[in-house]
Structure 1
Amino acid sequence: MSDESRIPRSTENDHTNEMAKVRRDFLTHKTGAELKYTGEYTINPEELPGNIENFIGVVQMPVGIAGPVQVNGEYAKGLFYVPLATTEGTLVASYSRGMRVINECGGVKTTVVEQFMQRAPAFIFNDAREARDFGLWVEENFDQIAAAAESTTSIGKLKHIQQWSVSKTRYLRFNYTTGDAAGQNMVGKATLAACEWIKATYPHECQYLLSGNMDTDKKHSHLNMLHSRGKRVIAEIVLKKEVLARVMKVDTQVLAKATVLANTGALMAGAAYNGPHSANGIASIFIATGQDEANVVESHAGLLSHELLPNGDFYLAVTLPSLICATYGGGTGLPTQRECLELMDCYGKGKANKFAEIVAATVLAGDISLACAVIAGHWVSSHDKMGRNRR
């Protein structure tokens, strides 16, 4: 590649308004694209090291507010206004409609069941017996391995190591708690230290690959449905028959039958989530609050459970087994992202579980609204009315 094709960079200070303009001018010269709006922003580029390279400006996303929603959690308690960054018309209105139903039914109960973040190295041996014996040694030396891992972090704690043997390889899956950070980088550093300690201490020769891909980083996997990655959080509610009929124009018995059909369809399709659309709410909140957007792949997977009660009311629950979210570190501290977290009192340390409960409650609200819209025939008409921008 010729020097004239290289993206301009400064070795002294690359995160400045001046360097951003140099790169925009370079791109305009190379491509003909005008970057007028990309170059209009209010954030200070000096805040961006660690978040972006080759900075040229910002992509501005519309942010709307859904709610309020009554959350009866262990961490999130009260009414919350939820910021949703999206370009899909009707989405904010739909979530607000679901939240209205939740409120009139007394609120949504939320529970964080457990939380782990993983790194999964693979250790390679000469044969399967060596790999098996190594696994026994790991179990016997867990405390020392944990000490080596935790020497790299004041927050991360190694809780347990899962193991699997395949041919002459022993796959280990290190499970950590990571406080209010999502923790992928944290556990990567900790596991590297642990693997180096293992390699130096194990009485026989061994080699390892830091990630054998069983951590399934930023990929959906059934393993994460069973063994939580991020936070396993559950949002549940009893929908009152009268409220659903009045607000949504839907009978709970019809909703129960439709949910069975939807479950069967999701099963046949091999879908990662059997409810209407968990990814919509999660992605919109993630973009607004500075989460790693790739984590939507893992976070949206889950289970929608229902039961038609004898009195005609309708129990509904969303289980998100791999909700990866943070209120500290990463992009959460950037100016607009921090403001969106502050709207929910979810910025900073000690707030991650609260945030997770609000996200789960939002997913439940969206599922209630969309499921009822499909049944009542409002799905297409609402998008025609509110969701069509043809400019």
Structure 2
Amino acid sequence: MEPTTPPTRIPVPRDREDDYSNAAAAARRAFVTEHTGAKLDHVGSYSIDPATLPGNVEHFVGVAQVPIGLAGPLLVNGEHAQGEFYVPLATAEGTLVASYNRGMRLLHEAGGVTTTIMADHMQRAPSFIFPSARESRAFGEWLDENFDAIKAAAEETTSTGKLQEIERYSAGRILYTRFNYTTGDAAGQNLTGKATQAACRWIRANNDTIEHHFLESNFATDKKSSTINMLRTRGKRVVAEATIPNEILQRVMRSDSALMFRARQVSNLGGFMSGVNNNGAHSANGITAMFIATGQDAANVAESSAAYVYAELRDNGDYYFSITIPSLIVATYGGGTGLGTQRECLEMMDCYGTGKVGKLAEIVAATVLCGELSLGSAIVAEEWVDAHDAHGRNRP
């Protein structure tokens, strides 16, 4: 068979003088219409200033408009988030906002959601290769002896990042490490990358036993859920919990605590059998909707939606329910949080800017808890399908 000549590549047009302008965006939309026939009337309707977008997007053509619904009030008894909040949820899935809103009503009547941040780590995970396992073991001890100097080298690159510890995991002649940082109000993936690069340069300059190193060994499992991050934390480890009297469950949810607990036992077994990383119902729904609304990195839902649900049926019929989110990656500064609509959504929860990331993490976790109880109740009360038929995409 004769080799075929590949088609001529026609790149997306760029304006090398001013690529972040309305004119450059309009030229790219015209390019799309010329080459695909698609009209971009809605994509090209936006209030955002393209000049603010360097660092957020390339080849800007317009915006994806996602409807934002409002749920609340959400009552939170947190260490950072205290009081009532109205929560923006960006979604095109019918019934999602209504379901979270219903859960918020339930837990408001029950006295609110208690939230606690248990740990805070963002990491980069370099690996170091040695002639043999013995040098690898010795290097682990050397890291302990030189931690203060390594920490100083890393922190020279950042005003907010702080190196907390270096985890070590050996395999053959390779030592895998996890450099754990706190990162202030930023999510911190870029911060930790730059800081760890500086630390590795100091290490290589002061240790001649290393054959080679890689700045990231896939042990941070960035943008992927993993057992190690569920156990050791990536981002914020947040617990949201509440105790709901059976009377309120019956009145608000047309459900019952005993039946809810039985369904929870069945769900735990089903999750175990299927090998899921989350024995809850749908934490990704609320987290994704909040991430899109508030300018978070949506790909971090892969890690952030992992969760542990724990429930108890109390002797008096009350229902204790908690969700632990071990790898919640959120920011209130940097990234997409400063863009127009995203900043507004953060501001409506008083979560924009410095000193607010703990508050946002607690609000996200509390919202997830409300959604878990709402969907769980709908399944028990056999209202789930009917709700989607009446209000969701299944409607006639």
Match of 1:51 among 44, 52, 56: 56
In structure 1, the residue matched to 2:71 is: 66
TM-score by length of 2: 0.97
Task: State the distance in 2 between where 1:173 and 1:91 align.
Answer: 37
The structural deviation recorded for 1:129 is 1.2
Match of 1:376 among 364, 381, 385: 381
SS in 1 for 2:190: helix
In structure 1, the residue matched to 2:309 is: 304
SS in 2 for 1:5: coil
Structure 1 residues 106-117: aligned runs within 5 Å: 106-117=111-122
Task: State the distance in 1 between where 2:133 and 2:166 align.
Answer: 19
In structure 1, the residue matched to 2:130 is: 125
Q: 1:63–1:86: 8 Å Cα contact kept in structure 2?
A: yes
Match of 2:354 among 342, 349, 353: 349
Unaligned ranges ≥5, structure 2: 1-5
Task: State the distance in 1 between where 2:201 and 2:305 align.
Answer: 34
In structure 2, the residue matched to 1:244 is: 249
In structure 1, the residue matched to 2:231 is: 226
In structure 1, the residue matched to 2:32 is: 27
Match of 2:319 among 314, 321, 331: 314
Task: State the distance in 2 between where 1:280 and 1:42 align.
Answer: 27
The structural deviation recorded for 1:233 is 0.5
Structure 1 residues 190-209: aligned runs within 5 Å: 190-209=195-214
Task: State the distance in 1 between where 2:313 and 2:9 align.
Answer: 67
Q: 2:230–2:327: 8 Å Cα contact kept in structure 1?
A: yes
| Aligned-partner residue type, residue 286 of structure 1 | F
Match of 2:158 among 153, 161, 165: 153
The structural deviation recorded for 1:204 is 2.9
In structure 2, the residue matched to 1:338 is: 343
Task: State the distance in 1 between where 2:206 and 2:19 align.
Answer: 42
| Aligned-partner residue type, residue 200 of structure 1 | A
In structure 1, the residue matched to 2:12 is: 7
Task: State the distance in 2 between where 1:291 and 1:332 align.
Answer: 7
Deviations 1:258-288 (A, max 9, x none): 0000011011111111111100000000000
The structural deviation recorded for 1:3 is 7.3
| Aligned-partner residue type, residue 99 of structure 1 | M
In structure 2, the residue matched to 1:163 is: 168
Identity of aligned residues (%): 58
> RMSD of the alignment, in Å?
1.2
Q: 2:120–2:236: 8 Å Cα contact kept in structure 1?
A: yes
SS in 1 for 2:51: helix
SS in 2 for 1:38: coil
Q: 1:117–1:176: 8 Å Cα contact kept in structure 2?
A: yes
Task: State the distance in 2 between where 1:130 and 1:70 align.
Answer: 54
In structure 1, the residue matched to 2:265 is: 260
Task: State the distance in 2 between where 1:138 and 1:286 align.
Answer: 37
Mean Cα displacement is larger for which, 204-213 or 272-281? 204-213
Confirm whether residue 359 of structure 1 aligns to residue 355 of structure 2: no
SS in 2 for 1:15: coil
Task: State the distance in 2 between where 1:257 and 1:175 align.
Answer: 39
Deviations 1:129-177 (A, max 9, x none): 1111111111110000000000000000000000011111111110000
Task: State the distance in 2 between where 1:214 and 1:268 align.
Answer: 26
TM-score by length of 1: 0.98
Total equivalences in the alignment: 391
| Aligned-partner residue type, residue 156 of structure 1 | G
Q: 1:38–1:59: 8 Å Cα contact kept in structure 2?
A: yes
SS in 2 for 1:68: strand
The structural deviation recorded for 1:4 is 6.5
Task: State the distance in 2 between where 1:117 and 1:11 align.
Answer: 36
| Aligned-partner residue type, residue 219 of structure 2 | M
Q: 1:199–1:206: 8 Å Cα contact kept in structure 2?
A: no
Task: State the distance in 1 between where 2:83 and 2:257 align.
Answer: 26
| Aligned-partner residue type, residue 42 of structure 1 | S
Task: State the distance in 2 between where 1:100 and 1:291 align.
Answer: 26
Deviations 1:18-48 (A, max 9, x none): 0001111111111111111101111000010
Match of 1:144 among 142, 146, 149: 149
In structure 2, the residue matched to 1:324 is: 329
